[in-house]
A = this chain, B = another copy of it.
Amino acid sequence: MSGNGTKLPLGFRYAATYGGIRKVAKDDLALIVSDTPASAAAVFTRNRVVAGPVTVALRNLAASRSRMSAILVNAGNANCATATAERVAIESSRAAANMLGIAPHQVLPASTGVIGVELDVRLIVNALPLLRAALSPVSFDAAADAILTTDTRAKTAFATVKGAAIAGMAKGSGMIHPRMATTLAFVLTDAVAPPSALRAALKHAIERSFNRISVDGDTSTNDTVAVFANGASKVTPPAQAFAEVLAEVLGSLARQIVRDGEGARKFITIDVSGAPSDSAAEKIARSIANSPLVKTAIAGSDPNWGRILSAAGNAGVAFDPRKADIDMQDLPVCRGGLAADFSEEMLKKKLDGPECSIRFMLRGRGRGKTRFWTCDFTEEYIRINASYRT
């Protein structure tokens, strides 16, 4: 699943450059091109306030009947809540299309960065020749680097399914909430998949990946997860297998985002079982994952299971606390809603590591379960976000 033995999908080229959108001279533009029109599927933010590129991407996806050729991304400016947001997305997409000899609606635009600051479209248009010159089938990593903002490292994932290759890149470390496709992620595959099958596979995969993570409970205006399948491998994987592998790739990207959560030092896996339904289990997991008191306790290696129980009690799911068991780091800390007999000192030591597991189990007939990922909440998160623009 990870970077070792990576095989990039056939028929895609990548480029990155610095267009002057960021204040620091670090690549802030990425272009991904499929040599032939690819089946495209994408999910977007559910925030009422949406960035210009999201509006335009949705429109282009419809206008192209889900056959697209390029992804044009900028970091450093969300192109959102400005007078020209939509126009900038349209004009930059059109300029890229002209340069590439494709139709404007075959370009999927995306942006990430600060909200409410005008983005000068010339910064993108002027950089397009540099991007074209840089296009290469092996520059995947350069593109994955260019889309980052407060991320401390790139997020990529690779897989193959029946001989077809899948490669994904993502960005995101704050403003992350699991109600949706979160942050930016682009997945390229040379598998053969008609748009309808790609949409179904993406829907399946998103539910098992980006919809199961949380960093800080905020949802961005720009979230976009897009999959392009150009068929260059001539392999048509079975739908089920393809969906599963796509879920693996998106799951890996989603977990990498959590690991790189702003200020995060610990990666927390939350398993909920015995709930009345899977969606009830997810509500409980989400409530635990979003509780600042749970997240700060983990930061402090404090086995404060009472906060976990209390957060579960706030999920809006009916359950009997006397039937609740909790494990932390595979040690029982709560049985039947009461303290289990465990060594607090030993558990504190176990919690000092970079991985934390929480299991919340309801005894009884419920079969609902879920797995959810989040990170701890540290002073560094505050430092990053209190000074993001300054």
Footprint of B on A, CB under 8 Å? 47-50, 78, 80-83, 114-118, 174-175, 177, 216-221, 290-293, 296-297, 299-300, 302, 304-307, 309-315, 317-319, 321, 334, 337-339, 348, 377-379, 381-383, 385-390
Contacts and interface: CB of A to CB of B under 8 A. Distances in A.
A275 B201 CA distance: 38
A174, A220, A300, A334: most-surrounded residue (chain B CB, <10 A): A300
A296 B385 contact: yes
Nearest to A217: B292
Contact of A314 (B48, B81, B115): B48
Nearest to A82: B338
Given A216-B292, A218-B310, A305-B116, A318 B388 contact: no
Contacts of A318: 48
B218 A291 contact: yes
5 contacts: A115-B309, A217-B217, A292-B381, A304-B388, A382-B382
Contact of A216 (B81, B293, B310): B293
A387 B319 CA distance: 29
- Report copies per complex: 2
A223 to B, nearest CB: 11
B386 A297 contact: yes
B83 A310 contact: no
A390 B302 contact: yes
A257 to B, nearest CB: 16
A385 B49 contact: no
A50, A382, A388: most-surrounded residue (chain B CB, <10 A): A382
Contact of A218 (B82, B118, B311): B311
